[in-house]
Each structure stands twice: as structure tokens, then as C-alpha cells.
Amino acid sequence: MARSLIRTIYSGTRSLAAVVKDARRAQQIASLLARHGFAALVARDRTTTTAAARAELLSGADTAEAAHTDLAQRVVRLLEELGPTFVKFGQILSTRPDLIPPQLLERLEVLQDHVRPVPIDAVRRQIEGSFGAPPEQLFASFDVEPIASASIAQVHGAVTKDGRDVVIKVQRPGLRPVVEADLSLLRFFADQVLAIFPEAAAFDLGGMVKEFEASLLRELDFTIEAQSLRRFEKNFRDKPHIHIPRVEGALSSRTVLTMERVRGRKLTSLTERGERERVAQLYLDAAYQMLFKDGFFHGDLHPGNVFLEDDGRLGLIDFGMVGRLSRQMRERLVDVLFALMSEDLEGVARIWYQLGRASARMQYGEFEGAVVDVLERHIVGRPMEEWDLAPFFTDLATAAMRHGVRLPSDFTMMFKAMATTEGLARAVAQGINPIEAARPYIEALLKERYSTDRMKRVALVEGVRLVELARELPHTVERIVSKLEQGDLGVRLKHDDVAPEMTRLVRALNRGAVAIISAAALLTAALTIGKGPYLWYGFSPMSIAALAIVFGGLTWIGVGLLRGR
């Protein structure tokens, strides 16, 4: 066994040499892989079959230590020992229940950074490198002992020259080169996994690594987090009960972020019932505004990032992980929740399918059946106050992935945020209904979605698109007829008789004429909406007549297409 381990380390070091320029680091990584039963990732040769490599990875039988440990535990231990980049990747994977098996997901959710604090002299040098002066000269006071220490940065307390209480987030010195080297390793491991497990291509492992790389490199640039803080502060300027820390721009850079300090009690430590219910409502209101109204949300509002301040405000911290939802994505989310409230099971399946990315192996009937089964287990027959979104979305995402439908990463982060929000709100105030608290935002989004102004904008955009399409149609038809006259289309016809093709051409011309009329009517409707006299809900007689023409024309075209004519 010892000889096998040495051989594995030597072979692994050689295979890692092209990825890791530091031979000592390559040997360390190969040793860690061998110790935890993953030597096949780097030590495969021409005589090793794919089946043998798969068996070795899954069993860990190559080492005595790994042979007595399950796969999920071995993966987590390996990530922890490989360092901060891999720990971060594991934490990101923990937000993807659609990709990760439940047993591994449970272990990844408790994956923690195990890092030593940065020596205070290194912190001083990092600050001085950004601003040309040590912290003792920049601040009235500076706390030597860190408030927190994580894989990316270390946080120290300080007081500005004009007496404001702040915290300084200082990036670990020399971190970027280490992260960039580790990202190269991660890409290498992803390629090795795909070589041994070709079926993993369905999970787009390479795409996940690219998304993680972009996210982590953004997190290393503290100016991006500062921009996020300013955006959140702007979004909540009309909500004085929500406190977003203010950035000290003159004392912030790419590697140092100085911001207002938030002090307060954790929500889970509150004891008075009325206070707990009030605070839970404030918390839900803030979270749902981010998700449904702003489309820009905090990705990790767990109990350690939310505080109740002495003045009654809710203070939020740690904005390194944020998500973004376009208007279309938010509307899809509202559609899902609205369908859930109506118990429209097939509607939920349809919307979920539209949200995701379907693979070639996907069978819609089987997918819909799996979604309906999850809904019947979690939603059907239960009042909203008994809905538990965390296991529901986990099971729904897992069922969809099993049948070939994968969600975009922003949506999985959103569902993770919703589950975290729901869990903390219920922990603070038992009996609270998180779904009911979201209803005002859902109704506001629905009202805005179907408002006269919104319909007018949509009609204008779609009308212009139809007009452009109609303008191009005669030129397209002319090119087709020209090619037909020259005989260029003869080789593409399945029938010797040209009459059927000419019939289809005539029908296409008819549809084009109807499309032009419909486009003109749609533009007319768009321009006359909101202009009196009003006949019905802000629509003038002219706009109603124009919309009727649009509806009739599109119906005629749609029926013809459905009938194959």
C-alpha cells in the first residue's frame, strides 16, 4: 500500500506539472488526492481502464484511510485541505440541489473555511499599499484583533478621523495568484472527471467551473462589492427601517473596503413575541423587495448577516454574494407562485420547463409527471402557512434535473435565498406565513405587468418588429421566386410536381399580407391606448378596434399553421 501511494504521488506530480508550476504544491496536491482515494484523477495511464478508474474513485479502496469513509465525506475533507478556492467552490455547489446528490449536498452545506488570521503586520502593509499610509495614520483608532477571518478577507474595526465607527475588510495578501493557480487546477480536475464519468457532461461541469471562476474573480475586486452596497442603499432609500452600511469611498480600493459598522442583536436571540413578529415582517419585506421589485438580491441572508440595531432598524452586512434577476425572470417567478396558489400543477411544470435548459434526452411527459408528483407531495391540499419552500424547491430542482431540465445559476441562487429567508423568518416568529408576506409584491408585479403603459410599450416594440419582418418579406419571396425560376430549388423539392410548392408560396404571401395588416393595426393600437374618449379600462374605441384586427389576423395565421395549410 505504501509503495502504491508513493507511486501515485510521483505519477500525480508529473501529471500536475503542466498545471501547477510549483513542484512542491503539485506534490502536496497529489498526496492529498491519494490519501482521500482520488488518485485516479491524476495518476491514470494507458493501462488503466475507465471502469477501473471509476471503481477506484467511488470506493476509495486505494488507501486504507479512504476505504472506511463514504464518498461525500471524502469529497468534503479533500476540499477543506485543498484550500480556500476549493472550499468556496464546495459552498457554491451546496446551492445547486439540481446537480448534487442529497447526501453530498448535506455535507457541503456545512463546509466551512478553516483559516488562520493574517498577521497584523501583513494587514498593515496591505492597507499601506492601497493608500500610501498605515492604518494608524488613516484612522483615529484601529483594532489590532480581527472581528472575523475568512478565506478571502479579514475584518478589523476602526474609527475614522471624524469619529465614525467603521469596519475595514482587508483582502489576504497575495491571494489573487493563489486563486488563479487553483482555478487552473479546478479546470484540470473537471476535465479529468468528465474523462472518467462521461455522463457528467449532462450537468455542464465545465460551465459551472467557468461561472464559479467569474464569480470568484469578481469577489476579489472589492470595488464591485462597494458598487453593490451603493445600489442596495439606493434601492432602500425609501425604507428607513432597513440599514445598508455606507461605503467610505476615500478609504476603499480593490483590496480594501471600508464601510459603516453595523452593531446589533441577532434575530434568533430576540425573546419578546411582539418584537419577534415585527422584526420577522421587516426581514421578509426587505428580502421580497430585493427578489420581486428590485431584481438585485443578497445571496446569503442567514442569521449571521442580519442584525436588529438599538434604534429598531434592520442592519444587513456581507454583500459579497449577490444575485440578479431580469424583469422577465421575475415575471416567471411570479407565474410559478401564482400557479402554486391556484394549484395549477401542469402550469407549474410548463413554466419550470420554460425557465430551464432542456437537454436532448428530455421527454416532456415524464418531466411533467415528475413535477406534478413533487407538487402533490409538498403543496396540494396544504394551506399556504404549511408550505415549506426549502425541501419543495430542492425536490423540484432534483426531479427536473433527473429528467433533463437544468435551471440557470441565478435562479438556483434565488431559490436558495428564498429558502434561507423562509427558514430564518419562521425561526424568529413561529406561525408566520412567508408566502402571504410576498403577496403584495406579487400583486404589484402582476398589476404593473398588465398595466396600460406596459402594454403600450410592448405593443410598440412588437409592432416595430412585425413591420420590419413585413418589410423584409417581399424581398425574401422575390429571392425564392428568382431561385425557383433559375431552377436552383429543383434539387430541394421532394415532389416532381411544383404545384404543391407554389400553393405553399401563395399561402405564405397571404400570411405576409395579413401580418402587415396586423402590424399596422398593432401600431395603431399602441399609439391610441390612453387617448380618450375611453370606452373600457383606458382603451379608446379606435384602440379596441385595432386590437380586434390584430387578434383576428393572428388567429387566422395560427389556425392555418396548426392545420398545416
Q: What is the DSSP string of 219-250?
A: HT-HHHHHHHHHHHHHHTTT-TTEEPPPB-GG
Alpha helix segments (H runs only) across 356-388: 364-378
- Number of other CB atoms surrounding residue 130 within 10 Å: 18
> Which parts of 433-540 fold into alpha helices (H)?
434-449, 452-486, 499-528
Strand partners, 550: none
Q: Are 356 and 400 in contact (CB under 8 A)?
A: yes
| Per-residue pLDDT, 64 | 46
Q: Is 322 exposed, middle or buried (0-12, 13-18, 19+ CB in 10 A)?
A: buried
Between CA 524 and CA 326 the distance in angstroms is 29
The full set of domain ranges for the chain reads 2-111+186-194, 115-185+195-261, 264-449, 452-562
Residue 403, pLDDT score: 82
Q: Which of 145, 101, 85 is nearest to 120 (CA)?
A: 145
Q: What is the model's pLDDT at position 277? A: 92
Q: Is the dihedral of CA 152, 156, 159, 164 positive or negative?
A: positive
**Contact (CB, 8 A) for 39 and 12:** yes
What pLDDT score does 170 carry? 97
pTM of the model: 0.71
Q: How far apart are CA 533 and CA 433, in angstroms?
A: 44
Does the CA dihedral 17-54-8-60 come out positive or negative? positive
Q: What is the pLDDT of residue 133?
A: 95
Take residue 159 and report the three cell numbers written for it. Answer: 474609527
Residue 137 pLDDT: 95
Q: Using an 8 Å Cβ cutoff, are 101 and 145 in contact?
A: no
Whether the Cβ atoms of residue 242 and residue 236 lie closer than 8 Å to each other: yes
**Residue tagged 430576540 (cell numbers):** 270
pLDDT in tens, 488-542: 655 444 444 445 555 655 666 566 666 666 666 666 666 666 555 555 555 666 6
| 25-43: pLDDT as tens digits | 767 777 888 888 887 776 6
Task: Look at strands 405-406 and 357-358 and give their pairing.
Answer: antiparallel
> Does domain 115-185+195-261 match CATH 3.40.50?
no
Buried b or exposed e, range 414-453, using 16+ CB within 10 angstroms: bbbbbbbbbbbbbebbeebbbbebbeebbeebeeeeeeee
State how far the Cα of 216 lies from the Cα of 210, in Å rounded to an integer.
10
Q: β-strands 296-298, 322-324: how paired?
A: antiparallel
Q: Are strands 314-316 and 242-243 parallel, antiparallel or unpaired?
A: parallel
Low-confidence ranges of the chain (pLDDT < 70): 1-24, 26, 42-69, 95-99, 112-114, 200, 202-204, 360, 385, 390, 450-451, 454-467, 469-470, 473, 477, 480-481, 483-543, 554, 556-565
Phi, psi of 536 (to 5 degrees): -160, 115
Q: How many Cβ atoms from other residues are within 10 Å of residue 315's Cβ? A: 19
Distance CA 442, CA 188 (A): 44
Strand order in the sheet with 265-266: 242-243, 314-316, 306-308, 265-266
